[in-house]
């Protein structure tokens, strides 16, 4: 808290959950921040990949998937890969490219687990390491086995951020190997069809029908 006055116990109550001297250091917080920012980039590129595979403009595709969980987005990508193999006979996504994307999805899932632990955990400083508070009650037998993701050093967190960035860059290159649908041109191509719809299909309803009862 710097030069600010430290909160003091009042009436026997503690005024903070984790004391200042136990909170993550600025260096540790910076490392966590690097992980979260690079992960946001990776998530966006996954959305672009999904749109390209769906042969759809990126903005409408991402509007549909923005509330779709990452696990379901990965499932959607796998479904689209199968579609390209069966319907388009790998003319757009050949066998080599499909293998590359499949490997990327596997790396994505592994990084997601580690990123989620850091992003959603409650951390306190233990020497030079970060240690997490347990998120749920456990038995004494389970408590004797320490999770490999329960403690982190700054270099370990920086390596995770680097791995995320590396996958994001590789996936972005792959998206550029897939055809992009120009949203503006796509909309223009559909406008003549809309203009030539029968008038009754384009006319807005005037209101609810009137009841026949007096």
Under 8 Å between Cβ of 28 and 128: no
Under 8 Å between Cβ of 73 and 50: yes
Q: Cα dist. 164→65, 92, 149, 170 in Å? A: 21, 27, 16, 10
Q: In terms of DSSP bridges, do strands 129-132 and 151-152 run parallel, antiparallel, or are they unpaired?
A: antiparallel
Under 8 Å between Cβ of 161 and 35: yes
Domain extent listing, the chain = 20-134+144-185
Q: How would residue 122 be classed by pLDDT, with cut points 50, 70 and 90?
A: confident
What pLDDT shows up at residue 132? 83
159 CB-side CA count, 13 A = 6
Residue-wise pLDDT tens digits, 40-87: 999 999 999 999 999 988 888 888 888 889 999 999 999 999 999 999
Residue-wise pLDDT tens digits, 88-119: 888 999 999 999 999 999 999 999 999 998 98
What's this model's pTM, rounded to 2 decimal places?
Answer: 0.76
Better-scored residue on pLDDT, 72 or 7: 72
Buried b (16+ CB within 10 A) or exposed e, 161-175: bebbbebbeebeebb
Better-scored residue on pLDDT, 86 or 187: 86
Mean pLDDT of all residues belonging to the chain: 82
Mean pLDDT in residue range 18-35: 90
Q: Does residue 204 register a pLDDT over 70?
A: no
């Amino acid at each position: 808290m710097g030069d600010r006055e430290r909160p003091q116990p009042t009436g026997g109550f503690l005024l903070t959950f984790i004391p200042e001297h136990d909170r993550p250091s600025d260096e540790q917080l910076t490392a966590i921040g690097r992980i979260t920012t690079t992960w946001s980039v990776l998530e966006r590129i996954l959305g672009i990949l999904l749109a390209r595979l769906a042969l759809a403009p990126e903005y409408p595709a991402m509007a549909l998937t923005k509330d779709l969980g990452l696990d379901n987005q990965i499932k959607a990508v796998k479904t689209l890969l199968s579609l390209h193999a069966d319907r388009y006979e790998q003319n757009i996504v050949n066998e080599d490219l499909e293998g590359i994307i499949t490997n990327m999805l596997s790396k994505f899932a592994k990084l997601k687990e580690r990123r989620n632990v850091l992003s959603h955990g409650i951390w306190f400083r233990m020497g030079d390491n970060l240690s997490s508070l347990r998120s749920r009650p456990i038995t004494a037998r389970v408590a004797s086995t320490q999770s490999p993701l329960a403690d982190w050093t700054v270099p370990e967190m920086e390596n995770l951020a680097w791995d995320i960035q590396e996958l994001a860059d590789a996936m972005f290159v792959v998206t550029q190997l897939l055809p992009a649908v120009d949203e503006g041109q796509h909309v223009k191509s559909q406008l003549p069809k809309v203009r030539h719809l029968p008038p009754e299909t384009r006319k807005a309803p005037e209101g609810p029908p009137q009841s026949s009862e007096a």
